[in-house]
Amino acid sequence: MTRLVELPEWRDLKQHCSEISKVHLGELFRREPGRAQTLSIEDCGLLLDYSKNWVTAESMRKLFALANAVGVKQAAERMFSGEKINVTENRAVLHVALRNRSGQPIYVDGKDVMPEVRAVLDKMAVAAESIRTRQKLGSTGKPIRNVVNLGIGGSDLGPAMAYEALRPYSDRELTVRFVSNVDGTHLAEATRDLDPAETLFIVVSKTFTTQETMTNAESARRWLLAALAGPSVAADPQSEKARKIVGSHFLAVSAATDKAAAFGLDPQSSVFAMWDWVGGRYSLCSAVGLALMIGIGPTNFFRMLNGFHAMDQHFLDTPLERNMPVVLALLGIWYNNFFGLQTHAVLAYDQYLSRFAAYLQQADMESNGKSIGCDGSPVAWQTGPVVWGEPGTNGQHAFYQLLHQGTKIVPADFIGFAKSHNPLGDHHAKLMANLFAQTEALAFGKSADQVRAELEAQAKTKNQAPRLDLVPHKTFPGNRPTNTILAERLDPETLGKLVALYEHKIFVQGVIWGVNSFDQWGVELGKELANRILPELQATNEPELKHDESTNRLIRWFRQRSRN
């Protein structure tokens, strides 16, 4: 392929960028009445208003031309048809099969994967219902009421985010928690008020080797066995007695069934399959979502899958110009690659989406945080942005100062809903007033003339001299780009659509940048070194340290201080 930056479409955009960068958003709105409608897409129950961006209809045409030139549509078709587009791991990328509600087959290596997908979903539904109806009993005969998901990264962030997002749909009599950190505090705090006899752990790990998850699983097993059978059984988790108890209080989700079996679980009844063609960060719709399904029930889980599928179809079938993931992706490319903006904020005005930005951080940064292209050579352009965010309105009282008046421009997505699950007084109108106010303020700002006039008017009423030295401080330059994404209500379908919207946005960006969005080699070195350092921290004799001078000193400091 011609190098991205040498494409005529890229060069054209570069030229166009220098022209558009001279025009303020306010001016774009003045010049183009009807802009808000032209630069909006309403589909799939979502409204995407992208008119408050540094683009004209012409800019969008040039961006779509770029998407066409790199073959975004063809790439999407390759993904949906099960081609092994994860080239470094020689795997298909088929999270769309997990929520394929069409009844159509999807093939990997000539085999339709849909029967297996459906079988696992059915098995999940049976397990979820048995807990939700309190028929699933622990080893002492008490019904299971507490579910603790033990997983990290994609085996945690998706279900944790979605469980929080869909709390209004959850069984409030069940306790569902998510433990990810290898810091023992996480597990200790999550279990301290739970009755072990009523607690089920779900060990979620595609590989079943992840240090954090396996450490938590072993500690959880010890905690459970010690409480239900005493310390001697806890010390021998492979004993028959221990395995029986573990069988009643543990489930596993993994692509490595043999390893889950070695942990003491029956592969038929207690292990839920995953497949190598599902990436961890794209696995929410697989059995990785089991804790979520237990919490919200199979019906709501399937509603979520329907939402995912609706957005998958939108992405696959809609022309680029009306394709929401494509538009978001191109705007991200526009800012990242042509204006040099390095971060992207996701600002959800819904408390239930409090984990959404954290979830998207992994989805986006682990996917596109790459500097080597699919062909193995370094890319000569910027790739994935730093993604971050907090729910509104909290962020307004924390970091929005920088968004409005800082020296950095942060493109942002604002997400909000017409209806609240908790219509308390006028809270929701206030929440949404803030969302709309922020995008307006960011785009249009407040001029020095306006500030001066206000200061003079205020001073006049107090019979004082106006503090005109404050004019520059109180001026808002505006011209800060934002997208607004609205939906009627944060329900299971909408959540599915939102997540799929971002998944496909990330995919499109990866295609344009020419990186493999589905591997994550960048996490390996830290794991490798931690495995080398761990015995050095634990050694009873002074170990010979062969790291750099700084790391050696830090290890010695820890060894000394942690013992006294």
Nearer to ligand F6P, 443 or 515 (CB): 515
Active site residues: 366, 397, 527
Nearer to ligand F6P, 212 or 312 (CB): 212
Nearest approach, Cβ of 523 to ligand F6P (angstroms)? 4
Position closest to ligand F6P via CB = 280
Applying the rule CB under 6 A, the residues between 468 and 487 that interact with ligand F6P are none
Q: Which of 82, 153, 159, 389 binds ligand F6P (CB under 6 A)?
A: 153
**261 token code pair:** 């079996």
- What DSSP string describes 343-359? EEEEEES-GGGTTHHHH
Site string for ligand F6P, 260-299 (x = CB under 6 A): --------------------xx------------------
Contact 364, 384 (CB under 8 A): yes
Nearer to ligand F6P, 154 or 385 (CB): 154
Site string for ligand F6P, 484-513 (x = CB under 6 A): ------------------------------
Name the strand (E) or helix (H) holding 76: helix 72-80
Nearer to ligand F6P, 270 or 323 (CB): 270
Binding window for ligand F6P (CB under 6 A); candidates: 69-77, 118-126, 151-159, 479-487: 151-159
Coil, strand or helix: which one is 32? coil
Nearest approach, Cβ of 217 to ligand F6P (angstroms)? 10
Nearer to ligand F6P, 82 or 153 (CB): 153
Nearest approach, Cβ of 154 to ligand F6P (angstroms)? 3
Applying the rule CB under 6 A, the residues between 339 and 368 that interact with ligand F6P are 366
Contact 252, 203 (CB under 8 A): yes
Q: Which of 437, 523, 530, 539 binds ligand F6P (CB under 6 A)?
A: 523
Nearest approach, Cβ of 90 to ligand F6P (angstroms)? 17
520 binds ligand F6P (CB under 6 A): yes
Nearest approach, Cβ of 185 to ligand F6P (angstroms)? 20
Nearer to ligand F6P, 210 or 420 (CB): 210
448/474 Cα distance (integer angstroms): 8
Applying the rule CB under 6 A, the residues between 357 and 416 that interact with ligand F6P are 366
Site string for ligand F6P, 184-223 (x = CB under 6 A): ---------------------xxx--x--x----------
Coil, strand or helix: which one is 75? helix
Nearest approach, Cβ of 75 to ligand F6P (angstroms)? 21
246/44 Cα distance (integer angstroms): 44
Applying the rule CB under 6 A, the residues between 86 and 125 that interact with ligand F6P are none
List CB contacts of 304: < 8 A, sequence separation 6 or more: 162, 166, 285, 296, 492, 493, 495, 496
175 binds ligand F6P (CB under 6 A): no
Smallest Cα–Cα separation from 516: which of 68, 84, 5, 10?
84
Nearest approach, Cβ of 254 to ligand F6P (angstroms)? 8
Torsion of CA 495, 177, 281, 502, to 10 degrees: 20
Smallest Cα–Cα separation from 238: which of 216, 221, 215, 250?
221
Nearer to ligand F6P, 256 or 320 (CB): 256
List CB contacts of 485: < 8 A, sequence separation 6 or more: 46, 47, 48, 49, 413, 414, 415, 416, 498, 501
83/527 Cα distance (integer angstroms): 30
Nearer to ligand F6P, 386 or 402 (CB): 386
3-state secondary structure 210-232: CHHHHHHHHHHHHHHHHHHHCHH
**550 token code pair:** 């700084």
Nearer to ligand F6P, 81 or 211 (CB): 211
How many helices and strands in the chain, by DSSP H and E?
26, 13
155 binds ligand F6P (CB under 6 A): yes
Size of the site for ligand F6P (CB under 6 A): 14
Nearest approach, Cβ of 220 to ligand F6P (angstroms)? 15
List CB contacts of 214: < 8 A, sequence separation 6 or more: 205, 208
User: 337 vs 19, 62, 333, 543, CA distance in Å?
Assistant: 15, 14, 5, 47
**289 token code pair:** 């979502």
Q: Which residues bind ligand F6P (CB under 6 A)?
A: 152-155, 205-207, 210, 213, 280-281, 366, 520, 523
